[in-house]
Amino acid sequence: MNKRMQGFALLAARLAALLVPLLWVTTAQAQQQTAAQVNQPDGWNADLLLPEPQDLNADPSILEFNLEAVVKEMEILPGKKTQVWTYNGYLPGPLIRLKVGDRLIVHFKNSLPAPTSIHWHGLRITNAMDGVPGFTQAMINPGEEFTYDYVVPDAGTFWYHPHVDSAAQVGYGLYGPMVVDDPQAKAVPGDELILLLSDMSLTEDGQLQDPKVGGRFGDLFGREGNVLLVNGKVMPTLKMRQGKQQRWRVINAARTRYYTLRYRRSPLVILGGQAGMASRTRTVNELKVVPGERFDFVFTPPDDPGTEGVLKWYPTDRGYGSTYNRLAEDLVRMVTVDEPAVTPEAVPELLRSDIAPLDITGAKEQTLNLTIGYDQNDDVSMGINGVHHEHAVPIIAKVGATQVWTVRNDTDFSHPFHMHGFFFQVLDPVEGVLEWKDTVDVPQHTELKLAVQFDNRPGMWMYHCHILDHAEVGMMGHLHVEP
């Protein structure tokens, strides 16, 4: 080889040495971009899709539709017919989707054989729209109609259900999901999946059980259904791709059942869940979701391509006997498609800067003891501060005031505490994460302190245990917010 050829070879070698790292970086960047843009598997959520209402209004900032409560025959158990109480013939009811500041108009008709109403769980709306007969409206009797009309002020994951004979009617199937989006919220990875968890009490031939089955024991323990449902289905299928994140909005619409969820101890990055996002994320390997509660989190599928697993319900200690001789139960069939895994995207740690601790300086303090007793007939009688809700004296608050409520539970059962119409902050929150809530668990023999500020929405509001059987036998109270 002459000197000229040797020079060309040396130059080529030097150029190759410079280009190889550049090519590696470019390839890595392309792979990373592909991972972020790859789609979920075809039909990944087809088995879990929720119905949507037919909008009657051309204004994009108004959702207006007809909603009818009606009994419909459905097949919940294979080959068996059940007379399900539904909204518009769906189980669960239609998904209501809005943006902050939108107006909702629901022309509701009751075609059930019993009076009913709709409570919009978690929403800070006007008192007249809260859906509690005897306090905010009259019962809606069979054949009657009522129009709910309000503006949604807050982002979050909510739901709707009756506030008449709630334990029975929710148990029969009357519940539906609601999501209010915030266009200004911080972007997070994951395609959204709404999972509405519930259960139903059915006989072997598919008939609805008596809502008072179990008598006094059922009142005391709370009635858990023997058929577990996710979006109204028994054991639906979810398709996943390893590493391709999903954003789950989980709603517990069960009357009594606590849900402990985990999947192979895969990390769940919690974004918030009730009134929009929390101040920052926190990561857990399992999650307890109590009745009435909602969580919003990023789930990263961990399984190898071409494998299957099961998302299970795990027994949760919510009091005396609640885990005795109980095993995990199947909820969702998890199918990881046989496609290459992708690298998960980073989830931002800081989510909101507009949540500050409420100033409780000089705040009036209230103590609410959750109590269980028995009446003169030896029937279970629950209450707040030893008083059944029918005889309760309202807590008084003024518009603009801040109060601190100590919710004390000296009973042998946990109680999910729900406040209508207002958000609160849990003082000493989990891992210091600030978040607005309307429902929180108060475990047995513990207490929580809640700070709440009463904005300009006067009226009579409810607060109660969201084990609906407990509320029905007296564990409710009244809050009168005065102008």
Average pLDDT, the chain: 92
Topology (CATH level 3) of domain 46-181:
Immunoglobulin-like (2.60.40)
32-50 b/e (C-beta count within 10 Å ≥ 16 → b): eeebeeeebbeebbebbeb
Cα separations in angstroms, 325 against 153, 315, 375, 459, 477: 45, 10, 31, 46, 34
Task: Provide CATH code, domain 191-336.
Answer: 2.60.40.420
Q: Region 191-215: what's the mean pLDDT? A: 96
Beta bridge partners of 70: 86
- Residue 320 has a pLDDT of 84
Residue 14 banded pLDDT, cuts 50, 70, 90: low
pLDDT at 393 over 70: yes
What confidence category does residue 28 fall into, taking pLDDT thresholds of 50, 70 and 90? very low
Per-residue pLDDT tens digits for 244-288:
999 999 999 999 999 999 999 899 999 999 999 999 999 999 999
Write the DSSP assignment of 64-132 as a string of letters: EEEEEEEEEEE-SSTT--EEEEEETTBSSPPPEEEETT-EEEEEEEE-SSS-B--EEET----GGGS--
% of the chain surpassing 90 pLDDT = 87
**Where exactly are the structural domains of the chain?**
46-181, 191-336, 364-482
Please state, in angstroms and rounded to a whole number, the distance separating the CA atoms of residues 114 and 293. Answer: 27
Separation CA 483–CA 480 (nearest Å) = 10
* Number of C-beta neighbours around residue 233 at 10 A: 14
Respond yes or no on whether the N-terminal peptide bond of residue 113 is cis (omega within 30° of 0). no
* Domains 46-181 and 364-482 fall in the same CATH topology: yes
Please give the Cα distance from 165 to 120 (Å, whole number).
16
pLDDT in tens, 64-116: 999 999 999 999 999 999 999 999 999 999 999 999 999 999 999 999 999 99
Q: Kindly report the CATH number that applies to the domain delimited by 364-482.
A: 2.60.40.420
**pLDDT tens track for 111-166:** 999 999 999 999 999 999 999 999 999 999 999 999 999 999 999 999 999 999 99
Mean pLDDT of the 446-453 span: 96
Residue 11 or 85, more confident: 85
